[in-house]
Amino acid sequence: MRNLKFVLLLIGAAAAIAGTNDQKKLKPWEEWSKKDAEAILNDSPWGQTQTETDLSEMFFRPQADPNVAPHAANANRDQQGATNQATAVKYRIRFLSAKPVREAFARIIILDHPDSRAQLTANLNDFVNRKFDEWIAVAVTFESRDQRFLNAAAQAFDSAVAATLKNKTYLQRADGKRIFLEIYQAPSPDGLGAKFIFRRLVDERPFLNLESKEVRFVSEVSKNITLNMRFKVADMVYGEQLEY
């Protein structure tokens, strides 16, 4: 039942949003290994990773100076001492409206639940094959080995709202044309991450085509988190279709 509820959550999230030569040679997603699926999500034309590294943890501090009041953001570190190593937060930025990204998510779920493979495959078909004729959806997840950084990122994404993100979140083509955020959905139990949703049609035409060269996703989520990732449009062809 927990598996089924998770799948229904995942499909529901997609429903809320939807209302290179090498890429064409990819084997069917039902045959992907977990490594194949993770590559699509984290290092592909449709999914990239932005890594932000904090070097302040590299300097060992056995205890705080009791005569110096710590800055709020560093209070926990001052009390515990530094980890003596750099700390990174990885932001996974993915075009959820691109079919290969949904296939990769589905494949990982199926591989993680081998005993329910047939049922999960049937339930995930709607999620994988859903059409995004009106919207472009970018999903962002984040991860870190340091729980403090993970908590800070979670708080930023959970508290963000479309009203404050609208003018600081956009997709931009190589010619400088931008489309700004329409809808924002904070991370939910579906596991897909925060969702940034844009209109697909501009002046009654698709925002991107094969002549667009590149598209850049930018979002100032908070004063400490700015996402900025470029994608090559020519590489986003999948099954002879431009997927984004």
- 3-state secondary structure labels for all residues of 46-114: CEEEEEEEECHHHCCCCCCCCCCCCCHHHHHHHHHCCCCCCEEEEEEEEECCCHHHHHHHHHHHHHHCH
196, part of any domain:
yes
47, part of any domain:
yes
| pTM score of the predicted model | 0.82
101, part of any domain:
yes
188, part of any domain:
yes
69, part of any domain:
no
Nearest to 152, CA basis, from 49, 75, 231, 208: 75
CA distances from 224 to 67, 115, 149, 189 (A): 28, 42, 11, 24
Alpha carbon distance 95, 139 (integer Å)? 6
Tokens of 110: 């199926």
67, part of any domain:
no
Structural domain count, the chain: 1
Task: Give residue 102's pLDDT.
Answer: 98
In this structure, the chain runs to a length of 244
Question: Which is more confident, 25 or 202?
Answer: 202
Average pLDDT of span 33-62: 85
Summary mean pLDDT of the chain = 85
Task: Give residue 56's pLDDT.
Answer: 62
Instruction: Inform me whether the pLDDT recorded for 70 exceeds 50.
Output: no
Instruction: Inform me whether the pLDDT recorded for 33 exceeds 60.
Output: yes
Residue 148: helix, strand or coil by DSSP?
A: helix
Task: Give residue 231's pLDDT.
Answer: 98
66, part of any domain:
no
Average pLDDT of span 44-65: 74
CA distances from 91 to 13, 85, 108, 118, 228 (A): 20, 19, 19, 32, 10
Domain that holds residue 205: 2-61+76-242
Element housing 194 (H / E): strand 194-199
158, part of any domain:
yes
Q: How many CB atoms lie within 10 A of CB 47?
A: 23
Average pLDDT of span 59-73: 47
Question: Which is more confident, 84 or 138?
Answer: 138
The answer to whether 93 and 113 are in contact (CB under 8 A) is no
